[in-house]
Structure 1
């Protein structure tokens, strides 16, 4: 008898978290949708999701308690989706230590603690019909590949999430648990809406100047909001396909990166080209630092 897959999704009140929850529900899967305030996910409850109050910045002991309860009730988690995150728009000079910590606490440390709490149970659960014990996904971004003026803190956290997934993919392979990072470009969600996009409290006039790269980023974010290239519902369907090995991903291995959007593709290809140019230009110098072979 086939076992119904179980999804645990953080930050399911909006954006990719919400869209992935809807896509999984549409396939008849069990979805545990979470948000800091469960009143914001009543639409998912009405669609058949189990809803839960969950804050990734809670103490590890609290998150461990949630994991214990989830596995006691549902028996397993096949897909652990870490979708919580936000962008801090700030020049490096403007960002306070508290604002930097808050960004990392949600975008990185919260992911780490959720993984710490859920992985012991996932390693112990039975292998599913597809031969996989489970799948964990972090959320990176186009910003995992390109730092921009005014977005350094956000890019730092997204690079961390991508590095985390790469490391997890190797660590978890012996346990038949797969790991990947979802790296979307600009998708039409509320991510850049006023009130969602965070800005540093300290504002320095020099960085407000539209002639500076930071000033240009600030104006570009305003113009981009509501006009992003990506369709989040299409993106979520691809994510669910790729994590479950169905649809467009049937018969294909889950890559360590789920890249979404032609804008992200361009950024990555440009990164390869510029990085290769550095390596070629400086290859004699970088090789000169090796110790002589004995």
Structure 2
């Protein structure tokens, strides 16, 4: 794709930041966004246009923001929604507001950006819409069930969008990384804790996840800059993406590769064990 223009949300850190910088290294045009654009001044110094943008804003506000973004370079060819965070806490401990806020950013934010961006992507007749799923799109984890639910939803959303948008030349892709060394697990940053603490969950799997995430934090196997290079390659048909179609699911990291294979084996085992029961619920006529 010649002369791509990337519109990226959640660009203040992690994948959004790395993808923005990688695109600029290749002299691609970038419109980087964050809730407070002051936090992405370094991306402006790297040559990106920067904007304040809250993915949970109302429909009229987001429509105006995308119109403004499109006017910067006269088009948008790639939309990458990287905004998101983790809510840690057992479901019983998590309030309605805490769970809603997680979905509002991670899922409804993706929907909001999709709806606001589609008129501009459709105008290109060859464009890319990408959201972020996760290893959490495939495997449930106690203690972060709200986050898992959002990532399952985002992967399902994107997989459904792929055939819906294909007639307009828009390739929809959900990027599904394993554990990468970003700020996602930093406590108090992109990982927040439910305000309520229920002692009954102490010493259970839902609580033990806290120590596991702390242990993984800043020691994750995945290299986010290496992933950003792959993402840009795949979405521009260059490097490792040359001669390949953009996949509906772009899986990144050897840990998620192993996790998905295990999920497939477990699912196959479940279906084989229950097949004789499963088929008994069909009509006989």
Query: What range describes the TM-score normalised by the shorter chain of this pair?
Result: over 0.9
- Counterpart CA distance in 1 for 2:62 and 2:223 is 32
Task: Please say if residues 90 and 207 of structure 2, whose CA atoms lie closer than 8 Å, have aligned partners that are also in contact.
Answer: no
Alignment of 1:186-225 (within 5 A): 186-196=179-189, 197-209=191-203, 212-225=204-217
Q: What's the offset of the Cα at 1:60?
A: 1.2
- Counterpart CA distance in 1 for 2:249 and 2:229 is 16
Q: Which runs of 4+ in 1 moved over 2 A?
A: none
- What's the counterpart of residue 115 of structure 2? 116
Matched, 1:153 2:153: no
Q: What's the offset of the Cα at 1:72?
A: 2.5
- Counterpart CA distance in 2 for 1:263 and 1:3 is 33
Structure 1 vs Structure 2 CA RMSD? 1.1
2:283 paired residue among 278, 285, 291:
291
- What's the counterpart of residue 23 of structure 1? 22
Q: What's the offset of the Cα at 1:44?
A: 0.5
- What's the counterpart of residue 68 of structure 1? 67
Count of aligned pairs between the two proteins = 284
Provide the secondary structure at the position in 2 that maps to 1:155. Answer: helix
1:260 paired residue among 240, 247, 252:
252
- Counterpart CA distance in 2 for 1:256 and 1:149 is 27
Provide the secondary structure at the position in 2 that maps to 1:288. Answer: helix
Deviation readout 1:52-75 (Å, 9 max, x if unpaired): 000101111100001111222322
Matched, 1:226 2:214: no
Task: Please say if residues 9 and 83 of structure 2, whose CA atoms lie closer than 8 Å, have aligned partners that are also in contact.
Answer: yes
Q: What's the offset of the Cα at 1:3?
A: 4.8
Provide the secondary structure at the position in 1 that maps to 2:149. Answer: helix
Task: Please say if residues 177 and 251 of structure 2, whose CA atoms lie closer than 8 Å, have aligned partners that are also in contact.
Answer: yes
Gaps of 5+ in 2: none
Query: How does the TM-score come out when normalised to structure 2?
Result: 0.97
- What's the counterpart of residue 104 of structure 2? 105
- What's the counterpart of residue 245 of structure 1? 237
- Counterpart CA distance in 1 for 2:56 and 2:216 is 29
- Counterpart CA distance in 2 for 1:74 and 1:158 is 32
